[in-house]
């Protein structure tokens, strides 16, 4: 059995659906379990309509509430795909009525809970699974759409960040192996025991694929996207980025955690536990070999990537009492935990701790509590840059080179940290410097420019 996950980038138009179906057809002998995301951009639209429905009632000049326009767009995108595929619009209409009613409810009540957000977002995957299954049937494959919960994908009730329950893998395995059709299931979403639809968090269908892959003990978990694998940097940012042939689980985990959007940060965990290789492939160029992420004895060389994570908040705490006060750090972490804030990077000195946070929700309350025993400075608009690679463990002086490269580019490093894994070097700069910094580092470390003077470029990684 193999898991084939197709992201929104592989499901944006009728043509992409047709290509995706053809890719699946090539692999029938390996018994694929197909996992899909919503049509590209659809989750954003579904969430946007919810936010818009919360806005004030109609102004006298307005003919219809804003959310209904977004809903029309949602309709049109699916209608165009289905018409171009010569598939019946009913595949979409069976969901549309319910979806319209939910938005109307939000509009009337002016209430949008995390639970309702997950519910609205879930329609994207539910619809795209039906469309892909119909495309597969049309080319003679006995495929059927099946919502993840009908495959046993039962989660906690943590809306927006749901976790698979511990007894679910066993159920998934049992159900999936008993199916007499090729399943096209919904990534990103699940259902709780209480019957609520949940989501795993944005970009979560990679994680769904990996969880399902681990449950069914797949031979490989394939992540099909719009680039030919994991690259030395985001190609949208660095056009010269190169595709990596392979990398270790740990490297993949580090780079996805620090901003490489290509994989959801938690994707690797279930694969590591079950020792299942992950293969990242390009649905636009299926002939390209892709990037293979493997567990054991991976001897990748060199630095493998530089990533950028934008819109990060940085919190600096100063307290002269820090050194003498045992438990100071745990007190700080407790406060963030209490307010549901997760911390990405930490750097400490005797009188200062700097932390970066993924999102600022709940920060004001945490700030008030922290101010009781420390001076708190919050800096918004920061970016985390992360260099990843086994070489950070064994090559001295890389940090020095980073300082020089960024100094020459007039970029100030505000915080620096080397993770416990020692394969990442992470630092914080102003958001406005983020892209420039990534390009400068990529040029020096990954492109054959001035390498005699700087880092020894290693061809063997690619």
* Binding positions for ligand ASP, 72-101, rule CB under 6 A: none
d(CA 359, CA 8): 24
Site string for ligand ASP, 105-144 (x = CB under 6 A): -------------------x--------------------
| Nearest-approach distance from CB 42 to Mg ion, in angstroms | 13
CB of 33 to Mg ion, least distance (A): 18
Backbone angles phi, psi at 309, to 5 degrees: -120, 115
From candidates 129, 131, 209, 227, binder to ligand ADP by CB under 6 A: 227
Q: How far is the CB of 85 from ligand ASP (least distance, A)?
A: 20
Q: Which of 230, 363, 385, 392 binds ligand ADP (CB under 6 A)?
A: 230
Q: Shortest Cβ distance from residue 39 to ligand ASP (Å)?
A: 9
Closest CA to 376 of 354, 361, 360: 354
Choose between 242 and 266: whose C-beta lies nearer to ligand ASP: 266
256 binds ligand ASP (CB under 6 A): no
Q: Does 7 bind ligand ASP (CB under 6 A)?
A: yes
Q: Is 270 in the site for ligand ASP (CB under 6 A)?
A: no
Residues that bind Mg ion (CB under 5 A): 7, 203
For residue 265, state whether it binds ligand ASP (rule: CB under 6 A): no
List Cα–Cα distances, 461 to 47, 288, 298, 376, in angstroms: 40, 16, 12, 43
**Per-position b or e across 283-305, b if 16+ CB within 10 A of its CB:** beeeeeebbbbbbeeeebebbbb
Using CA atoms, how far apart are residues 290 and 279, in angstroms rounded to an integer? 7
Residue 152 binds ligand ASP, judged by CB under 6 A: no
Considering only CA atoms, which of 357, 33, 389, 20 is closest in space to residue 176?
33
The reply on whether position 132 binds ligand ADP by CB under 6 A is no
Binding mask 186-225 for ligand ADP (x = CB under 6 A): -----------------x---------------------x
Note whether 395 binds ligand ADP by CB under 6 A: no
- The reply to whether 50 sits near ligand ASP by the rule CB under 6 A is no
x/- binding map, residues 80-119, to ligand ADP, per CB under 6 A? ----------------------------------------
Distances (CA, A) of 35 to 70, 189, 291, 351, 421: 26, 11, 19, 49, 31
Residues 135, 182 contacting (CB under 8 angstroms): no
Closest CB to ligand ADP belongs to which residue? Answer: 7
Contacts of 81 (CB under 8 A, 6+ apart): 13, 14, 17, 39, 131
Question: Which of 171/261 has CB closer to ligand ASP?
Answer: 261
| Residue selected from 11, 38, 137, 280 as contacting ligand ASP according to rule CB under 6 A | 38
Q: Is 210 in the site for ligand ASP (CB under 6 A)?
A: no
Nearer to ligand ASP, 41 or 362 (CB): 41
From the list 201-209, 285-293, 312-320, 438-446, the region that binds ligand ASP by CB under 6 A is: 201-209
Minimum separation from the CB atom of position 365 to ligand ASP (A)? 27
Part of the chain binding ligand ASP (CB under 6 A), chosen from 157-165, 203-211, 322-330, 384-392: 203-211
Task: Single out the residue of 25, 73, 163, 202 in contact with ligand ASP (rule: CB under 6 A).
Answer: 202
Footprint on this chain of ligand ADP (rule: CB under 6 A) = 7-10, 37, 203, 225-227, 230-231, 233-236, 260-262, 305
Footprint on this chain of ligand ASP (rule: CB under 6 A) = 7-8, 37-38, 43, 124, 187-188, 202-206
């Amino acid at each position: 059995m193999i898991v084939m996950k197709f992201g929104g980038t592989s499901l944006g138009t009728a043509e992409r659906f047709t290509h995706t179906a053809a890719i699946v057809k090539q692999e029938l002998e390996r018994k694929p379990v197909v996992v899909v995301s919503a049509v590209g951009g659809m989750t954003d639209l579904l969430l946007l309509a919810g936010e818009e429905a919360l806005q004030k009632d109609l102004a006298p000049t307005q003919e219809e509430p804003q959310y209904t326009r977004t809903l029309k767009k949602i309709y049109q995108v699916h209608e165009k795909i289905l018409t171009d595929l010569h598939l019946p619009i009913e595949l979409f209409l069976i969901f549309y009525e319910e979806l319209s009613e939910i938005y109307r409810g939000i509009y009337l009540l002016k209430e949008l809970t995390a639970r309702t957000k997950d519910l609205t977002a879930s329609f994207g995957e539910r619809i795209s699974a039906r469309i892909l299954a119909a495309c597969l049937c049309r080319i003679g494959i006995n495929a059927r759409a099946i919502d993840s919960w009908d495959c046993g994908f039962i989660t906690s009730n943590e809306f927006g960040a749901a976790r698979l329950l511990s007894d679910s893998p066993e159920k998934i395995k049992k159900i999936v192996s008993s199916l007499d059709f090729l399943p096209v299931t919904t990534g990103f979403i699940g259902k709780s025991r209480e019957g609520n639809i949940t989501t795993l968090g944005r970009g979560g269908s990679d994680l769904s694929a990996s969880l399902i892959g681990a449950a069914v003990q797949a031979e490989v978990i394939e992540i099909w996207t719009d680039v030919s694998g994991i690259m030395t940097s985001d190609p949208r940012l660095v056009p010269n980025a190169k595709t990596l042939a392979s990398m270790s689980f740990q490297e993949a985990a580090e780079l996805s955690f620090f901003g490489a959007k290509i994989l959801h940060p938690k994707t690797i965990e279930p694969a590591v536990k079950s020792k299942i290789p992950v293969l990242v492939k390009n649905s636009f160029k299926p002939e390209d070999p892709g990037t293979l992420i493997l567990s054991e004895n991976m001897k990748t060389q060199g630095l493998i990537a530089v990533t950028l994570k934008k819109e990060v908040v940085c919190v600096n705490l100063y307290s002269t009492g820090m050194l003498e006060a045992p438990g100071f750090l745990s007190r700080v972490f407790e406060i963030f935990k209490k307010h549901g804030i997760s911390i990405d990077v930490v750097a400490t000195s005797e009188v200062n701790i700097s932390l970066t946070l993924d999102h600022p929700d709940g920060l004001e309350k945490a700030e008030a509590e922290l101010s009781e025993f420390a001076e708190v400075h919050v800096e918004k608009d920061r970016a985390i840059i992360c260099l990843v690679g086994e070489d950070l463990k064994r090559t001295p002086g890389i940090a020095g080179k980073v300082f020089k490269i960024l100094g020459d580019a007039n970029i100030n490093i505000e915080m620096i940290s080397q993770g416990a894994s020692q394969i990442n070097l992470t630092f914080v700069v102003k958001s406005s410097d983020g892209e420039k910094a990534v390009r400068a580092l990529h040029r020096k470390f990954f492109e054959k420019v001035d390498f005699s003077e700087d880092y020894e470029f290693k061809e063997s990684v690619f």
